[in-house]
Structure 1
Amino acid sequence: MQTHTAQSLAATAAKPASAPLLRIEGLTVDFGGVRVIRGMDLTLTRGDSLGIVGESGSGKSVTWLAALGLLPKTAAVSGKVRLDGEEELLGAAAARLDRIRGGRVAMIFQDPSSALNPVVRIGRQVGEVLARHQGLSGSSVRAEVKRLFELVGLPDAARRFDAYPHQMSGGQNQRVMIAMALAGGPDVLVADEPTTALDATIQAQILELLTTVRRETGMALVLISHDLGVVSETCERIMVMYAGNLVETGHSDSIFGNPQHPYTRGLLAALPSFEGALHRLVPIEGQVPEPANMPPGCPFAPRCPQRMTACETAVPPLRQIEVGHRSACVAEMAPAAGQLQKLKTGTLA
């Protein structure tokens, strides 16, 4: 990883900081003729940190599985996914994608039990990444695997090399997945709920590790999470997704301090306060609509307390609220100050 770190820093210095590292344009995904992702756009630069939030079924994970060519053949994917402004990933040959995935772009999957091979020792699984993307072999592989296991806080790292996934806890397997993702020294790391099975102390350590690696190597970090506290502490930019649509995006302080979309406000209102008087949490009524039964207008309209007639006729486009902050809502919303401080107080405690 040290060699890759030096290479990443050199590459970062050679290119303008604002040059796009990865760009997704007009990404759509259909299953059986039913659209589940409806025109996703995002841009990552080197060293970027982007959080993607939303309820289950919002399309957060599917977006990245589609971008990396990991969806089944039954999925119809269209749009553009470009790496360094040149390499088109959608429709790329399998051999080329194999070189990119795990190397330049890595993903930490949410469920380690389905991502790790149950009949292969974990040291060998991480070692395969090192051999393929870093060119290591022999004793160098074992030494680097041990270092990576220590880096992610896996206890008794040397002995774990020969362990099988079933011999470890869910949290330990999650740390193996994180080590495997870092083994390729990626330019882009997509972390899908990377701390779900970890306790609060280890969670804080892992997030600090990912942030440190990002800052030292220029790696771009995408954090997919249901935990708004984790996202606010780790990411500089936030994207809020709902029913396959991007409904709000902006800088973390702007999103949490002045949320504009009713869905974003609903997510924040459902958070407990860690200071001041206790208050009743306000849930978002209803459920995320099924893709095959999407309402004709704004997908959030049936659950929205501020819905108007215009909300039921057309899907509102993203409009600029301030520089870098956009929201897809026709209603004029008043600022909601203080949400960020309420969110951060007690986070990761």
Structure 2
Amino acid sequence: MSLVQIRGLAVSFAGQPALRGIDLDVAPGEALGLVGESGCGKSVTWLAALGLLPGKARVTGSVRLGGMELLGAKAATLEQVRGGRIAMIFQDPASSLNPVHRIGRQITEALSLHQGLSGAPARAEAKRLLDAVGMPDAQRRLDAFPHELSGGQNQRVMIAIALAGRPEVLVADEPTTALDVTIQAQILDLLQGLRREMGMALVLITHDLGVVSETCERVAVMYAGRIVEEAASGQIFAHPAHPYTQGLLGALPPLDGERRPLMAIPGGVPEPWAMPPGCAFAPRCPHARAACLQAVPELADLHISHRAACILAAEAPVLA
């Protein structure tokens, strides 16, 4: 049973499509990786689902949380969902935290909103959350300003704020982008540990397949506003079916074996106003044929819980 069910989600800005029909499910407690280059629509998917896009955006489709429709829901309903049942960690903690308010105040504000706590109980819970996310000297950090903390510490603060509402789903949007490799690993381990401890689902948005390889149980690959492949993590890495997924994997440096030149995908993600006919990846695809320019390929079942939107994949026999 799905906790979050997204069907036919489409977003356009000034008539130009940014999302072109997203179907996605998130099960309770699972870790889902949403992967693709910048501009593929990963962040827009969840901003649209939570009603966080600007008013000029036209959003259609359906987003259901435990049976409750979120698209078009009243502002009061969305305020309870955002930060409560679904929390989101944004890409840059330095720009997400208020620079003129102390860390403790920013955490207790979330606790007041979602748990009704105030005063000493709120401060005690804020310290507990900082301890839970591995913040050193948590008591003293409550009185610090964001500029007094490192990037990794600010990211831990953002995670603590996200946990204040005891969410069922935590959406982490590029949570390790601005961090060095060692801190990246610590943050990913922290998210995994919190997911298991709290039983919440984790959606990890990233452009790096290496980040999701050991973090996520299922991977959805996005390109030009569509999901082009979806499968269990092991299946994606062992048998990528879509040429775009193959290209992303080819760009990862091998950790062992002989050194080889990294594969590069030529070109870039098309802009919404310059979308090619048929398959959006065809101009960059080494296997493109004339039929690829005729129609947008639908997601085809290749194996149990493995789908890909590619003519070549659709022509292959479906495995039981």
For the aligned pair, the TM-score class normalised by the smaller chain equals over 0.9
Alignment check: 8 A CA contact 1:189 1:219 kept: yes
- C-alpha separation between the residues in 1 aligned to 2:75 and 2:95? 22
Say which is worse superposed, 153-162 or 182-191, in terms of deviation: 153-162
- C-alpha separation between the residues in 1 aligned to 2:267 and 2:277? 17
Match of 2:58, SS?
strand
Does 2:68 correspond to 1:68?
no
Alignment check: 8 A CA contact 2:11 2:17 kept: yes
Does 2:216 correspond to 1:216?
no
Q: Which residue of 2 aligns with 1:168?
A: 149
Deviations 1:50-83 (A, max 9, x none): 0000000000000000000000001000111111
Q: What amino acid maps onto 1:141 in structure 2? A: A
Q: Which residue of 2 aligns with 1:57?
A: 39
Q: Which residue of 2 aligns with 1:297?
A: 278
Question: 1:205 Cα shift?
Answer: 2.8
Question: 1:332 Cα shift?
Answer: 4.7
Q: What amino acid maps onto 1:66 in structure 2? A: A
Q: Which residue of 1 aligns with 2:118?
A: 137
Say which is worse superposed, 177-186 or 157-166, in terms of deviation: 157-166
Match of 2:219, SS?
strand
Alignment check: 8 A CA contact 2:242 2:313 kept: no
- C-alpha separation between the residues in 1 aligned to 2:179 and 2:134? 11
Alignment check: 8 A CA contact 1:49 1:220 kept: yes
Question: 1:123 Cα shift?
Answer: 1.0
Q: What amino acid maps onto 1:101 in structure 2? A: R
- C-alpha separation between the residues in 1 aligned to 2:112 and 2:225? 37
Structure 2, gaps ≥5 residues long: none
Q: Which residue of 2 aligns with 1:11?
A: none
- C-alpha separation between the residues in 1 aligned to 2:144 and 2:7? 42
Deviations 1:286-311 (A, max 9, x none): 11111100001100000000000010
- C-alpha separation between the residues in 2 aligned to 1:43 and 1:286? 31
Q: Which residue of 2 aligns with 1:196?
A: 177
Q: What amino acid maps onto 1:222 in structure 2? A: V
Deviations 1:104-150 (A, max 9, x none): 00000001222212222121111111122122222122222122222
- TM-score normalised by structure 1 residue count: 0.87
* Alpha-carbon RMSD: 1.6
Q: 1:154/1:327 Cα in 2 relative to 1: closer, same or farther (>3 Å)? A: same
Question: 1:273 Cα shift?
Answer: 0.6
Deviations 1:173-202 (A, max 9, x none): 222111111121100110001122333333
Alignment check: 8 A CA contact 1:260 1:333 kept: no
Alignment check: 8 A CA contact 1:174 1:197 kept: no
Q: Which residue of 2 aligns with 1:121?
A: 102
Question: 1:334 Cα shift?
Answer: 11
- TM-score normalised by structure 2 residue count: 0.95
Within the candidate set 243, 248, 252, 1:271 is matched to 252
Match of 1:198, SS?
coil
Q: Which residue of 2 aligns with 1:282?
A: 263
Question: 1:168 Cα shift?
Answer: 2.2
- C-alpha separation between the residues in 2 aligned to 1:165 and 1:159? 13
Percentage identity across paired residues of the two chains:
64
Within the candidate set 6, 10, 19, 1:37 is matched to 19
Within the candidate set 48, 51, 55, 2:30 is matched to 48
Structure 1, gaps ≥5 residues long: 1-18, 336-349
- C-alpha separation between the residues in 2 aligned to 1:266 and 1:284? 6
Q: Which residue of 2 aligns with 1:28?
A: 10
Question: 1:333 Cα shift?
Answer: 9.2
Q: Which residue of 2 aligns with 1:228?
A: 209
Q: Which residue of 2 aligns with 1:245?
A: 226
- C-alpha separation between the residues in 1 aligned to 2:300 and 2:153? 43
- C-alpha separation between the residues in 2 aligned to 1:227 and 1:160? 31
- C-alpha separation between the residues in 1 aligned to 2:271 and 2:291? 22
Question: 1:325 Cα shift?
Answer: 0.2
Match of 2:312, SS?
coil
Say which is worse superposed, 280-289 or 110-119, in terms of deviation: 110-119
Deviations 1:89-109 (A, max 9, x none): 111111111111111000000
Q: What amino acid maps onto 2:85 in structure 1? A: R
Say which is worse superposed, 138-147 or 240-249, in terms of deviation: 138-147
Alignment check: 8 A CA contact 1:178 1:194 kept: no
Report runs of 4+ in structure 1 exceeding 6 Å deviation. none
State the number of aligned residues: 316
- C-alpha separation between the residues in 2 aligned to 1:125 and 1:332? 49
Q: Which residue of 2 aligns with 1:15?
A: none
- C-alpha separation between the residues in 2 aligned to 1:159 and 1:255? 44
